[in-house]
Chains A and B, each alone.
Chain A
């Protein structure tokens, strides 16, 4: 029996040959809890942060920014504590990226006040002349669509229902539209009048950026206390 004279058998042989590496390196790890451990300090995204994350995906920020800090001395000095697998338990899809045209963002949450992001995202060159990040003006001009927010949370199984989603959205709208919102001045500068009383896409993106790496700081604090 000659394999090179039998196309179907040849295809079956190819499937077997490609399956070995696939099983060992990708399939089996899917069923090993140690591949993607969970920690109670790492919380799922709120409805608002999730919408911000979807804006991040839509705009392809991951084509310039990574979200994993490697355990290297200079990298930890530049970005902060290196990334742990626990941090990504709720990330569907993952957003580690493969190119750093811009800096890593895994630890950007809390690094700057909200006002900084309102200014930077809309006009990076206004802040740093040599930055080549696109100016995302349109994000501040667009009201967020919340039609599918509850459905998204349900699909991802984040453990809270549609009422909670609605509550979070209302609370967030009141927060950003409030004249006492800490970033109110900067927000008003970039947000056109008609949408100022609404949640804009930029509002949710900022909320998402501020979440990045924050829970893990809690995790690290706890593990230090225990030592």
Chain B
């Protein structure tokens, strides 16, 4: 049956916005990846690597991931509170303004209007827009929570609240700047302080966009789509508070061995190691939930996305802390190894969980079965293999890069010039591109499947048994 609540229809539209921005961001990403081994592609100022990279990161973090987060949040909010959205008209305005803001953001970044601070590049007028949009979102979150009919707030709602609060704090504080004119401003912090604030933001942008809300989805949609309940409520309480507490201490692990005061680096390192525990609490909670029901990996097309997703989250939260260790950071910092880390998180964990959640939302809200389970499986395998080819290549390449940069001759002089290292990397950049193409193909299949699911279709098609398999538990 079609779900006609306001939350459901807004959720469905945000879901399609997310898919749209995903495809745009990936086309930009592929172009960027090709520029690495074919620099002639830097055809115009706005296609030059330095500007395009920013369009890629912002497009995928804010366009794709945040739209996915909004879709799931509006949906989850209504279901878990058993209450309609508090301000449905505001939510609709949020949808339109959000998409308009992403268009303006992309155009301004193409034009080279940027503050240079990673993931916070937008110039000040757009920053104000972002804050307004966030307030609109928060109003619905808290408005609906306050009016709710369900007494207890489930763990997904805790992560949602943490997302709302953390994004607001880190975004505003990192973007305090003095305008010169409409298109240019300077940070209020200088030098070392600017660096320290920026990476406190940077790491918590990862926490509050790529972790908290994705965990909210995981804790809601895994039980929903498998028909099992989460293994341990107590474990999720411990995981939640220690994760939210620990994340804010670790920003300086992005600044190891730089002029940032050493004690800040050491504290960041210690808390990075600490984060393994709460991160793995969620991984374990997920695995134990499946206890005795692992056959769903085969029979339920959504279960694999969630379980592979949480597995990559587990790997990511082991790799991350080790990267902060001084010996390893001295080797891997600034190399392609870190780009491998980033993309296991984004193409593995984030994409797996978001895609499955969007399948769930679109099928439920349009009241239809998925158009094709077989295509969903093709989607799964393409993004999995594409991601692995991408990340494993960059890890091997990153080790080579680190080793070449550190290699010395017997007399202590450097064995390789910087250009030798660049030249040696061309084959890796090409394989990474191939991995990106596979992943992109998977996403195109995903988009097609989702559009077909939502579109009205003749009865004959939905009677086809192929489309009926693998319903949701």
B406-A74 in contact (CB<8A) = yes
| Residue from A18, A84, A101 in contact with B36 in the complex, judged by beta carbons closer than 8 Å | A101
> Which chain A residue has the least Cβ–Cβ distance from B44?
A138
Decide: A155 near B180, CB < 8 A? Known: A5-B152, A21-B246, A89-B190.
yes
B251-A25 in contact (CB<8A) = yes
Bound CA span A138–B44, Å: 9
B414-A10 in contact (CB<8A) = no
| Interface bits A66-99 vs B (CB < 8 Å: 1, else 0) | 1010111010011000011101111111111111
Q: How far is the CB of A91 from chain B (nearest CB, A)?
A: 5
B137 at the interface (CB under 8 A from A): no
**Chain B interface size, under 10 / 10 to 19 / 20 to 34 / 35 or more:** 35 or more
Bound CA span A91–B116, Å: 12
| Interface bits B265-305 vs A (CB < 8 Å: 1, else 0) | 00110010000000000000000000000000000000000
| Residue from A7, A68, A128, A156 in contact with B145 in the complex, judged by beta carbons closer than 8 Å | A7
Q: How far is the CB of A28 from chain B (nearest CB, A)?
A: 10
A36-B252 in contact (CB<8A) = no
A25-B268 in contact (CB<8A) = yes
Decide: A148 near B180, CB < 8 A? Known: A4-B153, A66-B334, A92-B194.
yes
Q: How far is the CB of B74 from chain A (nearest CB, A)?
A: 16
| Interface bits A1-42 vs B (CB < 8 Å: 1, else 0) | 000110110110011011111101110011010111000000
> Which chain A residue has the least Cβ–Cβ distance from B429?
A132
Q: Which residues of B contact A30 (CB under 8 A)?
A: 189, 193, 197
| Residue from B271, B338, B419 in contact with A130 in the complex, judged by beta carbons closer than 8 Å | B419
A189 at the interface (CB under 8 A from B): no
Q: Which residues of A contact B37 (CB under 8 A)?
A: 132
A25-B258 in contact (CB<8A) = no
Decide: A25 near B422, CB < 8 A? Known: A63-B49, A93-B115.
no
B35-A88 in contact (CB<8A) = no
| Residue from A25, A68, A94, A95 in contact with B200 in the complex, judged by beta carbons closer than 8 Å | A25
Q: How many A-B residue pairs have CB under 8 A?
A: 237
B 236-280 contacts with A by CB, 8 A: 241, 244-252, 254-255, 257-261, 264, 267-268, 271
| Residue from A21, A57, A77 in contact with B245 in the complex, judged by beta carbons closer than 8 Å | A21
B116-A62 in contact (CB<8A) = yes
A152 at the interface (CB under 8 A from B): yes
| Residue from B118, B161, B186 in contact with A98 in the complex, judged by beta carbons closer than 8 Å | B118
| Interface bits A114-141 vs B (CB < 8 Å: 1, else 0) | 0000000000110010111111101000
Bound CA span A97–B199, Å: 11
A61 at the interface (CB under 8 A from B): yes
B264-A29 in contact (CB<8A) = yes
| Residue from B48, B180, B193 in contact with A59 in the complex, judged by beta carbons closer than 8 Å | B48
| Residue from A17, A29, A84, A124 in contact with B261 in the complex, judged by beta carbons closer than 8 Å | A29
Bound CA span A102–B112, Å: 20
Q: List 12 A-B contacts (CB under 8 A).
A: A4-B153, A17-B244, A21-B247, A25-B200, A29-B261, A29-B264, A83-B258, A85-B191, A88-B259, A96-B255, A124-B39, A148-B181
